[in-house]
Amino acid sequence: MVSTTSFRLVIADDHPLFRGALKEAVARQFPNAELFEAGGFDELQALLERESDVDLVLLDLTMPGVRGFSGLMYLRAQYPGIPVVVVSANDDAGVIRHCMEFGASGFIPKTTSVDTMREAVAAVLEGQTWTPPGVDLSTAADKEVKALVTRLSTLTPQQVRVLMMLSEGLLNKQIAYELGVSEATVKAHVSAILQKLGVESRTQAVIAAAKIEGGQWSQVAG
């Protein structure tokens, strides 16, 4: 059923063809919707800072500027009032479960039919959650991994960004330059990250995050 309600939706994916296909699918279901596109995480951040009253973000996990679940973690921390639906080519049950644990309102595999995508988006806009039918998410995660997910969820948006940069091997002064803050501020963020994750070094922090990312977080921090 076509909805006449006006929504403001953001499609964040680095593949223009997929963005276009998803945009067309959503537009047919919600012809009055205002649709925005972002091809990278920096572009998505700028868009969300500029546009108010966004009703939903459709987020690819693997865009330039993010790795693993970091983009989702940042959005949920920085914009807790905006629902996020992950749209990903990786439909592993563990990945879907982690996305929901990190606060996603839904998970749509990229192999999903257009009609089902529309149903999923409509369900989330109605305040529901949506995951692929037939995917068993009841299997309990390893206790260590579950505890780590809980700890990662406590990071502030800035701490998430610092952890992302640590994973890229950036030094404190480089992180300070990228974020436009002092080295002292970066050191404070790093200390807070170590404390929240229960580790003693930058390398251990990155390795800890990698445990739930399936190797998506680079382990190069020195």
Domain 143-210 has CATH 1.10.3660.10: no
User: CA-to-CA distance for 211 and 78, rounded, in angstroms?
Assistant: 24
CB-CB contact of 137 with 96 (8 Å):
yes
In the chain, ranges of CATH 1.10.10.10 domains: 143-210
Q: Which of 111, 132, 110 is CA-nearest to residue 120?
A: 132
What's the Rg (C-alpha) of the chain? 18
Sheet harboring 8-12: ordered strands across?
34-38, 8-12, 56-59, 84-88, 106-109
Which token pair is 109? 């595999």
Q: pTM for this structure?
A: 0.83
pLDDT per residue over 24-60, tens digit each?
888 888 888 899 999 998 899 999 999 878 999 999 9
CA angle at 21 for the pair 34 and 88, rounded to the nearest 5°: 100
| C-beta separation of 164 from 41 below 8 A | no
pLDDT at position 210: 78
Residue 192: Cβ-neighbour burial (10 angstroms; 0-12, 13-18, 19+) = middle
Which residues of the chain are in CATH 3.40.50.2300 domains? 8-125
Q: Are strands 34-38 and 106-109 parallel, antiparallel or unpaired?
A: unpaired
Model confidence at 181: pLDDT above 60: yes
pLDDT over threshold 80, residue 67: no
Give the CATH number of domain 8-125: 3.40.50.2300
